[in-house]
Amino acid sequence: MHEFSIWAPSVDKIQLRIGETTHPMTGPDSKGYWRATIEDARAGTEYAYLVDDDPHPYPDPRSLRQLQGVHGPSCVYDRKAFGWTDDTWQGPPLTGAVIYEMHIGTFTVDGTFDAAIEKLGYLRKLGVTHLEIMPVAAFAGDRGWGYDGVALFAVQECYGGPDGLKRFVNACHIHGLAVILDVVYNHFGPVGNYTGKYGPYITDKHHTPWGDAMNFEDKGSDEVRRFFCDNALMWLRDFHVDGLRLDAVHEFMDRSAVNFMEQMSAEVDVMSATVGRRLVLIAESDLNDPKVVRPREAGGYGMDAQWSDDFHHSLFTLLHVEEGGKGYYDDFGAFECLAKSLKNMFVYDGMFSIYRDRTHGRPIDGLSAHHFIGFIQNHDQVGNRATGDRLEQIVGLDRAMVAAGVVMTAPFIPMIFMGEEYAASTPFLYFADHDDPEMAKLVSAGRKKEFAAFGWDDNQIPDPEAPSTFTNSRLKWEEVCEGAHAAMLDWYTKLIHARRASNSLNDGDTGHVKVTFDEDKRWLVMDRGLTRSICNLGDAAEFDNPAGLRLLLASKEGVELEGDKVHVPANAFVLLSGESD
């Protein structure tokens, strides 16, 4: 027996179809829900809904499984049937995390959860603590980044479906790795979204880069918010994930007295108490507004952390100058910016932005750096380049090692993108698999328009719909032990383990960070407790070592300590320490 329930306040009648049989549904109730109980329905039963007089059957917006893709019927799934073995799991704290972002489809040749499990020992040895998985909610086709999901409660079947995800999370926990899942609540994908058949999930009162905004404040928004909060709680409860990363929260259009993020944060806190595990929420936001991560008790939205784009832009523009238009990089390019991002997180904290042509941001006002996540590569910063080229391919091995050193010794939580740790030769390109030819054309045209701001021409951009664009993005694991790849892997491993073993490098108090720099000589020195990080992107130079710190790590040969001085070669990173071994 199974009870079917569907929120459909916008329809006059709705029927449940199972096979060739149609069942009437009772409703709507006061909240707009229709229901039907079917005695012989069980796990594996496929079903769909007939709306008003439309003869076409539509899937359930809350479907837990889409065996035949997002256009096909939904499938009843027993969410409690899996045999978990992680009952005693308590994940590592986010404040001491080293995050590894990954895309399941290109992480291995097979592109499945089960294949990814085979690499967990490698990731544990590397020293990462949290795996951040790009979205796995069901989307149209078999290839995609996941940000075009439409069946948000179902897991993409080509990755292994819901049981595959559970096996992966369970295995991660056995290996001591926490799992953060990327979710998209700012838009539905352009193909396969049938929520409009049932109710006002979307409003035309606000607009986003992907079209009309999600309805978080208009008529019917209570149940829309319930839909997304229930989705978040499902991943945390039923799939045992340790946290969620919320995509582009700056596109949440919500003027409610209780913001959607605040509501979600409060409900996740209750879920955390219920399951007895620390659960976290991470936001992607370009607002430079500390309210996003400020605790609810202090008038904030209660997100635990947010991505720090200002740091990425500050560091990248010192390593490389783009030809042609620079887009948002116009606001960066000075060591002063990098220094400010290390000390204050936001470079634009009330300053005028050339790119935006307005004043942007506000100061973090004493918040811990552990509310912010820093990186030099991620899926956007690699995949949104015309050829998906990675940092080492752009700036060379020496400078990529310097960048890694800065990221891993900075006060915020560090994150690396899959393959970054061994300077993977494979690109990470934008790929998709739209079954609508017109949509495929629009996607390609949209990518070309986006790249135009950076001066890239059409011929540089691989076709997102071509299968080769996807397969060319798969990591080549045979590279890990070869030449420069092995050298980079060794460097990242040493950096990660040094960070995790250091009290100074795990201190999130920005008041304990001191940064000096020389714009002309192109170097920066960062003191954190008993450590000193030296980033030298200029000529070989001597730096002070007044406390007689010992050399802990150097990205290249030629570093010499003489008395209270340390000689650092060009394009090198050095970590000095006064902490005991």
The pLDDT tens digits of the residues spanning 501-541 come to: 999 999 999 999 999 999 999 999 999 999 999 999 999 99
Rounded to the nearest integer, the mean pLDDT of the chain is 95
Q: In CATH, what number does 2-58 get?
A: 2.60.40.10
Q: Where are the alpha helices (DSSP H) in 239-374?
A: 260-275, 309-319, 335-344
The Cα–Cα gap between 188 and 201 comes to: 10
Asked whether the predicted pLDDT for residue 325 surpasses 60, the reply is no
Amino acid identity for residue 368 in this structure = S
194 or 441, greater pLDDT: 194
The structure tokens listed for 56 are 């076409």
Asked whether the predicted pLDDT for residue 235 surpasses 90, the reply is yes
Amino acid identity for residue 391 in this structure = L
Q: What is the predicted pLDDT for the residue at 326?
A: 66
Classify residue 138 as exposed, middle or buried by CB count within 10 Å of its CB (0-12, 13-18, 19+).
buried
Q: What is the predicted pLDDT for the residue at 455?
A: 66
Q: Is 247 a catalytic residue?
A: yes
Measured in degrees and rounded to the nearest 5, phi and psi for residue 37 equal -110, 125
For 547-578, the pLDDT digits (tens) are 899 999 999 999 999 999 999 999 999 999 99
Q: What is the predicted pLDDT for the residue at 447?
A: 72
Q: What is the predicted pLDDT for the residue at 88?
A: 94
Active site residue: 242, 284, 331, 349, which one? Answer: 284
Q: What is the predicted pLDDT for the residue at 435?
A: 79
For 153-190, the pLDDT digits (tens) are 999 999 999 999 999 999 999 999 999 999 999 999 99
Are the beta carbons of 469 and 462 closer than 8 angstroms?
A: yes
Q: Cα–Cα distances in Å, from 83 out to 80, 239, 401? A: 8, 11, 43
Q: Cα–Cα distances in Å, from 145 out to 75, 199, 246, 391, 408? A: 24, 27, 15, 20, 26
Which pTM value belongs to this model?
Answer: 0.97
Q: Indicate if the alpha-carbon torsion angle 140, 146, 152, 153 is positive or negative.
A: positive
Beta strands 99-102 and 413-417 are: parallel
Report the pLDDT averaged over residues 213-236: 98
For the chain, give the percent of residues with pLDDT over 90.
91
Q: Is 284 a catalytic residue?
A: yes
Asked whether the predicted pLDDT for residue 459 surpasses 80, the reply is no
Classify residue 558 as exposed, middle or buried by CB count within 10 Å of its CB (0-12, 13-18, 19+).
exposed
Asked whether the predicted pLDDT for residue 443 surpasses 80, the reply is no
Which parts are annotated binding residues? 245-250, 309-313, 379-384
Active site residue: 46, 60, 247, 254, which one? Answer: 247
Which parts are annotated binding residues for substrate? 245-250, 309-313, 379-384
Asked whether the predicted pLDDT for residue 105 surpasses 60, the reply is yes
For 265-307, the pLDDT digits (tens) are 999 999 999 999 999 999 999 999 999 999 999 999 999 999 9
For the chain, give the percent of residues with pLDDT over 70.
99
Beta strands 280-283 and 305-307 are: parallel
Q: Cα–Cα distances in Å, from 385 out to 65, 205, 328, 417, 456? A: 34, 32, 13, 15, 9
Question: What are the structural domain ranges in the chain?
Answer: 2-58
Q: What is the predicted pLDDT for the residue at 453?
A: 59
Asked whether the predicted pLDDT for residue 431 surpasses 90, the reply is yes
Q: What is the predicted pLDDT for the residue at 77?
A: 98
Are the beta carbons of 532 and 525 closer than 8 angstroms?
A: yes
Q: Which residues pair with 508 in a beta bridge?
A: none
DSSP category for residue 26: B
